[in-house]
Amino acid sequence: MSRAPVIELKRELGLWSAAAVVVGTIIGSGLFLVPKTMVLRVGSVEMVLLVWVAGGLLSLFGALTYAELAAALPEAGGEYVYLREAYGPVWGFLYGWTQTWVAKAGSIATLATGFSYYLANFWPGLEKVFLAIPLPIGPGGGPLEIRFGQISGMALIVLLTGVNCVGVRFGGRVQVAATLAKIALIVAIIAIGLLATQGRISHFRSAIPVTAGASGFFAALVAALWAYDGWNNIAMAASEVRNPQKNLPRAIIWGTFLVIVIYLLTNIAYFYVLPASEVAASDRVAAEMMRRILGAPGAAAVSLAAMISIFAALNGSILSGSRVPYAMARDGYFFKGIASVHPRYHTPSVSLLTLGAWSAVLVLSGRYEQLFTYVIFASWILYGMTAASVIVLRIRKPQLVRPYRTRGYPLVPVVFVLIASALVASTLFDSPRESLFGLGIICCGMPFYFHWKKRRHSLIAHSENRHY
């Protein structure tokens, strides 16, 4: 009796598509929304720029570390694969569990929320309450208010999930086009800001009073790392990248470096036009800067740029993030149906639909800041462990072929792990409610792991008995 052919994912993402996933996923809503949070935490312009540099260097250290792992293990799932190989299947599962239910789904929901904020500049009615649920499950323990803007964010998630279901090549082309458009618009914003007659060098010496100290620096770093988050995403779709041994390290490292340059230039433009006090009072700093220079049309142009930026970040997040539950299911540690590949489009369509649906539900869960806090906290616990896996695998699997080796090893991964640990501790202290929620979801995965582990062993034993 002949078996049906196994349908696999195809390697259809080239270097440009892979780089577009890195750059396009990193540059989302954070560049436009978090400068206010950072100023309120550290006070001065110099400290804000220092935080951007620190976050960029930490992300670059992570990129250098992940480049070795991605080139050596170019499989679907990214960190799921690296943790599985370094520490065993339970840690890979906990990463995949956290990514599916908290980190990636929460990140997608947060981006969709940011998209609705900017869309409301064109349609203010989106900020109106559509439905109020009279239960203490909303922000601050109040009633949960569902706004029309949240519905628009959910609709965007559904749209981009559909785009990625019809082929990774199509999704990659959408990613390249949206990323090029966003970079062009951001470069235009930088140029307009730096050439503005309203700019003042004295703004770089401006400050507001703060008393947070070191905890404020780490809180600002959390905001910066949210803006930098995404440099690791292409590793999740490594099984669909052509010539992964060369293209993955190039895309991860150079994509991250390009984003650091863009972020620093953009913030220099912000503070050249606006002093620290005005940035601290603005929820949409880029729009406020352009309004100062060009009036209402300038603010509208920034809203359009932010929406295109978020669109690209969402598309890249959905494309890459869906490969994690797919990889788990393929190994037998998640729902079996999620491992299926569409026979025509060769995409993990069930995994895409599952992640998209859960992310849309999370859009209803609260405000932007609450979402990204628990996303960052849950992610960085496992980011640190993944960076450490470079050292673990060098020791445990010296025979593993490594087409790229981390520059600055072992200092680069060690520094990354130490700062990641300090960041996790600081976030737990600063935002205990959101952090403990993230930890709770990680712990909730253990009973499911043992269930699927037992089922997997039973299936393997049954298969061996049939063979004999």
Q: What does the pLDDT read at residue 2?
A: 44
Looking at mean pLDDT, say which of 50-54, 124-128, 226-230, 359-363 comes out highest: 50-54
pLDDT at 367 over 90: no
Q: What is the band of 104 on the pLDDT scale with cuts at 50, 70, 90?
A: confident
pLDDT at 172 over 60: yes
Number of CB atoms found within 10 A of residue 396's CB: 13
Coil, helix or strand at residue 132: strand
pLDDT at 102 over 60: yes
**Residue 208 structure tokens:** 């507001």
Q: What are phi and psi of 44, to 5 degrees?
A: -100, 160
- Residue 127 DSSP code: G
pLDDT at 180 over 90: yes
Task: Provide the mean pLDDT of the chain.
Answer: 87
Question: Which are the contacts of 20, defined by CB distance < 8 A and separation ≥ 6?
Answer: 172, 175, 176, 178, 179, 180, 312, 316
Residue among 383, 319, 353, 366 nearest 110 (CA): 366
Q: What is the band of 6 on the pLDDT scale with cuts at 50, 70, 90?
A: low
Contact 34, 226 (CB under 8 A): yes
Residue 233 burial by CB count (10 A; 0-12/13-18/19+): exposed, middle or buried?
buried
Coil, helix or strand at residue 76: strand
Q: For the chain, what percent of residues have pLDDT higher than 90?
A: 57
- Residue 237 DSSP code: B
pTM: 0.87
Sign of CA dihedral 92, 98, 100, 104: negative
Q: For the chain, what percent of residues have pLDDT higher than 70?
A: 91
Contact 146, 131 (CB under 8 A): yes
When pLDDT is averaged across residues 88-116 and rounded to a whole number, the result is: 88
pLDDT at 416 over 80: yes
Partners of residue 76 on adjacent β-strands:
237
Contact 326, 348 (CB under 8 A): yes
147 or 4: which carries more pLDDT confidence? Answer: 147
**Residue 159 structure tokens:** 């749209």
- Alpha-carbon distance of 355 to 342, in angstroms, equals 16
When pLDDT is averaged across residues 250-258 and rounded to a whole number, the result is: 94
When pLDDT is averaged across residues 214-239 and rounded to a whole number, the result is: 86
**Residue 309 structure tokens:** 């930026």
93-107 burial code (b ≥16 CB/10 A, e <16): bbbbbbbbbbbbbbb
When pLDDT is averaged across residues 347-366 and rounded to a whole number, the result is: 88
Complete domains list, the chain, with CATH: 16-463 (1.20.1740.10)
Q: What does the pLDDT read at residue 437?
A: 77
